[in-house]
């Protein structure tokens, strides 16, 4: 059952019925884009809880615009490929979810509409949106002079931590704000103090687990050692896999599992996932994004809070604060949409103040507008979180990830070259030759 608007979401019982509602209301498969009626098609990817939140926004939109009906199209395994297939076949959905890593390729191929064409004729909305937006998030979807999507949620990475484990061990809780940094050394000391082993040496409680993607998490530690991923961020010509500071951050991340043994290696998670370890109270800290919040909130006997990422020595020397990653999804309009005006109204609603307020109240996402982040509904949806400033301040303390039409090729190179480093088979310094030149070649010859 969907909670009432503006009501606090129960700490452990949020959206228990979302799976049934999401499955009943969403239309999967390619046939959903083939209809000849006047419904506006909206393509997105979501787990059941996320789907329920989006359906709530659609319900509100249809009440405000009774002349516009929205048909949802739920993504399958590879949303990028699915979108490309739809659009190549002339069946492109009107509104599409965009990811920061994949939208540039779609924009480069002419699949997405440059929203500046609509902003120019809707100047009042354009001015209000820009005034309320967090620049780093809004600019995430700006490519080659165009604005190809509006951000709809912040999905940056931070740390969850088990407050009961900290209290029982007598370990000081980590910082609760982005302007209260802690160092790589502080983080390692904490993870070491909270790792427990049996008499036989088997780890029974990990100090740290990673619930994100290890290559990206490692690069996030590189960023937090004072060096950005890319130069420049949009349409980069170089990624800093040959920078000593960036590589030191990667090495620190890899050493957590391979040297210090405060984090599980791949072999340690064959019977239980990193998510399962934290949910079961067998890990003190977990790296992830707000997309993990509801899973942890619904877990029995799990008391947790959130904290910022640690800062490496090179960043400390430069006086740099900790940074999350700008992970964001946005809403885009297909360049060949026959319902462009209707799509524009929907995108304005979902990415504007009303839709963002609903996103904040859902407890599933961190909204992207300042007004929605500061609204009472967002705090009410996170009643179990003391360090709410980690979430509300996260979007403004995020560093941009690379945006390139060639990102899929770059990702494949990263995945292959970084594997041995993350398994402790090669040092991070090996990436100077094993990865950096290859990526530069891809970026130079699209």
What is the rounded distance in angstroms from the CA atom of residue 90 to the CA atom of residue 87? 5
What is the rounded distance in angstroms from the CA atom of residue 336 to the CA atom of residue 83? 13
What is the rounded distance in angstroms from the CA atom of residue 134 to the CA atom of residue 127? 13
What is the rounded distance in angstroms from the CA atom of residue 403 to the CA atom of residue 410? 11
Q: Quick one: CA torsion of 238, 240, 243, 248, rounded to 10 degrees? A: -170
Has this prediction a pTM greater than 0.85?
yes
Per-residue pLDDT, 53 = 85
User: What domains can be seen in the chain, in order of their start residue?
Assistant: 18-155+326-374 (3.40.190.10), 157-324+402-444 (3.40.190.10)
Low-confidence residues of the chain: pLDDT under 50: 1-32, 34-35
What is the rounded distance in angstroms from the CA atom of residue 319 to the CA atom of residue 313? 10
Per-residue pLDDT, 50 = 81
Per-residue pLDDT, 37 = 67
Per-residue pLDDT, 10 = 33
């Amino acid at each position: 059952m969907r909670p009432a608007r503006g009501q606090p979401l129960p700490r452990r019982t949020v959206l228990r019925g979302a799976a049934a509602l999401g499955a009943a209301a969403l239309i999967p498969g390619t046939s959903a884009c083939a209809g000849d009626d006047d419904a506006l098609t909206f393509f997105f990817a979501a787990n059941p809880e996320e789907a329920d939140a989006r359906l709530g926004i659609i319900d509100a939109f249809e009440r405000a615009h009774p002349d516009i009906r929205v048909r949802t199209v739920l993504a399958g395994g590879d949303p990028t490929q699915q979108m490309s297939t739809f659009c190549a076949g002339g069946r492109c959905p009107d509104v599409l979810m965009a990811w920061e890593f994949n939208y540039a390729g779609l924009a480069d191929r002419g699949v997405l509409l440059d929203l500046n064409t609509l902003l120019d004729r809707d100047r009042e909305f354009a001015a209000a949106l820009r005034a309320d937006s967090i620049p780093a998030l809004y600019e995430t979807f700006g490519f080659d002079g165009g604005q190809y999507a509006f951000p709809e949620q912040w999905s940056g990475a931070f740390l969850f931590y088990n407050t009961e484990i900290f209290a029982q061990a007598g370990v000081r809780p980590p910082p609760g704000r982005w302007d209260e940094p802690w160092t790589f050394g502080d983080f390692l000391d904490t993870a070491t103090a909270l790792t427990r082993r049996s008499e036989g040496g088997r780890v029974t409680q990990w100090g740290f687990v990673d619930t994100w993607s290890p290559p990206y998490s490692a690069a996030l530690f590189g960023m937090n050692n004072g060096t950005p991923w890319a130069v420049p961020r949009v349409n980069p010509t170089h990624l800093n896999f040959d920078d000593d500071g960036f590589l030191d951050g990667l090495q620190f991340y890899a050493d957590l599992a391979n040297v210090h043994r405060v984090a599980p290696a791949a072999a340690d998670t064959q019977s239980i996932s990193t998510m399962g370890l934290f949910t079961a109270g067998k890990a003190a800290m977990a790296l992830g994004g707000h997309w993990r919040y509801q899973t942890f909130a619904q877990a029995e006997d799990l008391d947790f809070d959130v904290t910022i990422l640690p800062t490496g020595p090179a960043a400390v020397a430069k006086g740099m604060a900790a940074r999350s990653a700008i992970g964001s999804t946005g809403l885009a309009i297909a360049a060949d949409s026959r319902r462009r005006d209707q799509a524009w109204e929907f995108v304005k609603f979902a990415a504007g103040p009303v839709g963002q307020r609903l996103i904040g109240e859902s407890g599933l996402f961190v909204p992207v507008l300042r007004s929605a982040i500061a609204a009472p509904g967002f705090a009410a949806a996170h009643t179990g979180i003391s360090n709410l400033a980690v979430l509300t301040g996260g979007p403004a303390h995020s560093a941009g990830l690379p945006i390139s039409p060639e990102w899929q090729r770059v990702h494949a190179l990263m995945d292959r070259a970084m594997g041995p480093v993350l398994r402790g088979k090669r040092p991070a310094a090996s990436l100077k030759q094993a990865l950096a030149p290859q990526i530069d070649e891809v970026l130079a010859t699209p």
